[in-house]
Amino acid sequence: MDFGIAFSFAFQDEEWLKKIAIGAVLALTGIGMVPLFGWMMEIIRRAKVGDYSLPDWSDFGKLIVDGLKAMLIILIWMIPVYIISGCIAGGSVLGSDTSSDANQVLGWGLVALSSCLAIPFGLIVVLLMPPMINILADTDKFGEALNPVNSWKLFRNNIGGYLLLILFQGFGFPILVGIGSIACGIGAFPATAYAYTIMGNLLGQVHAKALAG
């Protein structure tokens, strides 16, 4: 994975300032994160074939559709996480009921069981979400992207690349946005748009190597 290209390719575009600014405005609105995510999907497609150009915003409708599809996949896989979290919260409340020993046993048992499920399922989501997004960007087939077997095959073909990507997503991405926030707050939004270009390029690079492997 070439981090140098991922961090620099956007600035090689003659209109990089305009394109990043549009992404920043969209990030500022909140709801604009949908087309911004779709913009990242197009960056993935280009990086996969070695095209490191920065997409424009002309086909705005497609960017919205792509962003919605990707976010829907994330939402579907997060539903069990929300259910498990709800069970942990509910179990904690029930376990705190000092008026009933039975409720306490049931509540803390529910917390323990839910916690045991949360760790492995959370790990599965973290590991398989990047290849899911790559499959969707590459094939535009929602069912194939949602299938964890397909994602596991890709992840297995480039374990090192995907792990580095996940580390950047967990640490590098927030750091970039945080640095932008120092610039009077408003800097967080162009930093977010720029971080999405990096993430999209890295996803594309990792996907290309996984397919080749």
Residues above pLDDT 90, as percent of the chain: 58
Band of pLDDT at residue 58, cut at 50, 70 and 90: very high
Signed CA dihedral, 12, 15, 20, 21: sign only: positive
Q: Tell me the mean pLDDT in the region 89-115.
A: 73
**Residue 187's closest CA among 201, 173, 177?**
177
The pLDDT > 70 percentage for the chain reads 89
pLDDT one-digit tens code per residue, 120-162: 888 888 899 999 999 999 999 999 999 999 999 999 999 999 9
User: Above 70 in pLDDT, residue 177?
Assistant: no
Give the pLDDT confidence of 69-80 residue by residue, as tens digits: 999 999 998 888
Mean pLDDT for the stretch of residues 25-53: 93
Question: What's the pLDDT at 90?
Answer: 76
Q: What is the mean pLDDT of the chain?
A: 87
